Structure 1
Amino acid sequence: MHLDLDDTKQNIVIVDNAIIVPPPRERGSNNRFQASGVLTAEGEMVENSITWGEGRQINVAPEMPDPDTIEHLPGQHMFGGIMFGHFGHFLVESTTRLWGLEELRPAIESIAYTPKINARPMQFVRQFRPLFNVLGATVPVRSTPVPLRVDRLFVPRQGFGQFELMRGSEAFRAYMRRHAGRRIPAQGAEKIYISRSGLQRDRGGLIGEWLLEQQLQQEGYEIYHPQNHPLVDQVAQYKAAKQIVAVDCSPLHLVGFVGNSEQKVAIIKRRSMELVPYFVDQLRLFQDIDAFEVDVLVDEWLPHPDKRPGRRSCGEISFSRLHEALVERGMASGQQPWRDLSDAERADERERLRVLHEGTKFFRMANRERFIERQKSGTVRGANKFS
């Protein structure tokens, strides 16, 4: 079974005396595929409270909680799904029911989430409060560590998600077009490269990104580090940019929410995972952005003991071929050809990675072609895509 966002059953279920059940608090519990969600007063799982991701059901039906552990939440509220603490997972998996606010905003007192990890759940609510506001979800938000009995709970169906779900439902796309970043004026450079060079060491990226940045700057691009800017400024910049170059990364989801049809977005493939086409779909379907994939991946370098690409892997791309692709799409002048890394620079990059990762060796991905073929055949999914 899977979630079909184009299904005509896109709806909002109303549950009286609903029980919102968070995941277990015990250490070692599976927080990725967890027992949590919404139960009816009779203990039946409400189907609309299921969150889907990676082609699988993320939350499974929990048991009816001990009545002594259930707290009462009076009034009318909306179920928001699972509250993730990671920026990328939040954008793709915790915003999925906000489309319901279009109809429910006047009727509800808050949005209630179950936490991904049942420890200090309100910490993430505070962390993402500015993002809720940017996305038009200005109502109060809670993430409950204990079971709640809600007088009346509205449960919208999921309208967005990972991989093929990044296309979004019609209702979700319409909501984002009307509300995301609406009150933030566009401001910033017209040409930006969304850089990863300033991220934490385990985030992965591109080999020799410094050389790519130098060559993009010569073409008039500003090197943009989102993590160094307040969220409102990020949205202003993404609305202002006419040309954006980036690898597959979480900020592109925000571009998809707040961007516009006058933009061109080149998405560089940085690892052997079939992710970029989903980003392209999101940007095109949400905002009619001229988005396209640039696959000039030459090699992949993985830290020991990783066996396949993930958030820590580093891609080696051909900068000269990337330049040719940008020139063809009118995003570079073509006056000065770009160069690729020399053998000495490549060796220096490997040593830099080894030191950065405290002695961890990086090695070329083994069986890379086999992995790519298995992905195409559908027998394997990529590793965690957010970073």
Structure 2
Amino acid sequence: MDATVVPPAENGFVQAAGVLDSDGTYCAHGALWRRFRPLTTEPARPEGDLQNLPGRWLWGGVLWAHFGHFLVESTSRLWALEHLDQPVDGVLFIPKRPRAGENLRGFHTGFLDMMAPGLPIRVATAPTQVEELIVPGQGFGLGLITAGTDRFRTAIHNRFAKNVAADGPERIYLSRSALGLGKGGLLGEERLEELLQAEGYEIFHPQQHDLATQIARYKAAKQMIAADGSAVHLYAMVGRPDQAVAMILRRQSRSNNLLADNVRHFCGTEPTVISALRTEWVRKSQNKSSRLSFGELDHAAIGAALARSGFISEQTRWPLLTEEERKQVFADKGLNKSDDFIESPGFVRQRVRAMRQARRTG
């Protein structure tokens, strides 16, 4: 009773924000954890008048504007909707970025409406005293918890998007080509799309459709290939064991393993993970792999992996791009490979190790 919710005052990766009990004690149970550390830490007890919020509310935690982080970290306490002894008036969040204020995006309200129809979202932008606040533990996130707790997975399977019917082709490819390289695109993805279309795949750009359309496609597909990314988190929430999933990695990242774990534990199926980059490119000013680096696809290796796994014809042989074709791909993206970009040093080291291992075993 009479909990105090304190939103972050400043932008930052780790922020002082969260829930205080009626006596001012920090409620560590309400913190957002990522891997092995909390991203929200104990805030100072606010001084002066507080905003007042009457009623009974469910603590949602940090509200992310980024689609993927919203799916994985902002939904993480909604499992409690399955276990409430009394209804709540809504779900209460704090913004990740203070300047976002109370702004809600379509996927925020769309997701919650598919989880608990008619239940509103409230965003606390100033220290707020809440008449009654239910604070569940974190059931999902990044790290080992990407597998989800039993209660979280059960709640998602029991409640989420149950009224969305399957609608779409049996084969789809979840593309990132329309997002641009600055948001984790792939060099050569347009060529990959052409090759997959020839195998009967629909090219699907999730960000161009509402949640219901995305989910309808995911439910209908018997075989889904995806460039790894946020869309796969949404698929995992509605996927089934009888569906085949292949994930094409777009860069070197620990998050790739987390995404595969997400699909494995939620869908009850083993995803085919294809690591087949010809190389990874970074701007010279970066000089390292990051979320702004981008991979260059090895079409031959991808085709071979997909054929082995039954996603395309066993007889399919996709050729590598020639050097002239590679130059044209860069030109089509308005990039100058020689002047602006270098190969990721980490990728080069990885390739050298693989060559040495091949010589030793060959």
Deviation at 1:339, TM superposition (A): 1.2
Q: Which residue in the other structure is 2:312 paired with? A: 332
Structure 1 runs not aligned, ≥5 long: 1-15, 374-387
Which runs of 4 or more aligned residues in structure 1 lie more than 4 Å from their structure 2 counterparts after TM superposition? Answer: 354-357, 369-373
Give the letter aligned to residue 176 of structure 1.
I
Deviation at 1:327, TM superposition (A): 1.4
Structure 1 residues 372 and 324, CA, compared in 2 at 3 Å: closer, same or farther? closer
- For residues 192-213 of structure 1, the C-alpha deviation after alignment (integer angstroms, 9 at most, x for no partner) is 1111111144112221111111
Give the share of equivalent positions with the same residue, in percent: 35
2:189 and 2:297 in contact (8 A); partners too: no
Give the letter aligned to residue 25 of structure 2.
E
Q: Which residue in the other structure is 1:8 paired with? A: none
Q: Which residue in the other structure is 1:341 paired with? A: 321
Deviation at 1:37, TM superposition (A): 0.3
- The answer on 1:46 being equivalent to 2:27 is yes
Structure 1 residues 107 and 151, CA, compared in 2 at 3 Å: closer, same or farther? same
Q: Which residue in the other structure is 2:6 paired with? A: 21
1:269 and 1:293 in contact (8 A); partners too: yes
1:302 and 1:309 in contact (8 A); partners too: yes
Deviation at 1:131, TM superposition (A): 1.8
Deviation at 1:291, TM superposition (A): 1.1
- For residues 66-95 of structure 1, the C-alpha deviation after alignment (integer angstroms, 9 at most, x for no partner) is 132x11111211110000111111111100
Q: Which residue in the other structure is 1:62 paired with? A: 43
RMSD: 2.2
Q: Which residue in the other structure is 1:205 paired with? A: 185
Deviation at 1:355, TM superposition (A): 4.4
Q: Distance in 1 between matches of 2:53 and 2:351?
A: 49
Normalization by structure 1: what TM-score? Answer: 0.86
Q: Distance in 1 between matches of 2:351 and 2:26?
A: 38
2:218 aligned residue (223, 232, 238): 238
- The answer on 1:35 being equivalent to 2:16 is yes
Give the length in aligned residue pairs. Answer: 352
Q: Distance in 2 between matches of 1:351 and 1:174?
A: 48
1:83 and 1:124 in contact (8 A); partners too: no
Structure 1 residues 297 and 157, CA, compared in 2 at 3 Å: closer, same or farther? same
Q: Which residue in the other structure is 2:343 paired with? A: 364
Q: Distance in 1 between matches of 2:339 and 2:74?
A: 34
Deviation at 1:311, TM superposition (A): 2.7
Structure 2 runs not aligned, ≥5 long: 353-362
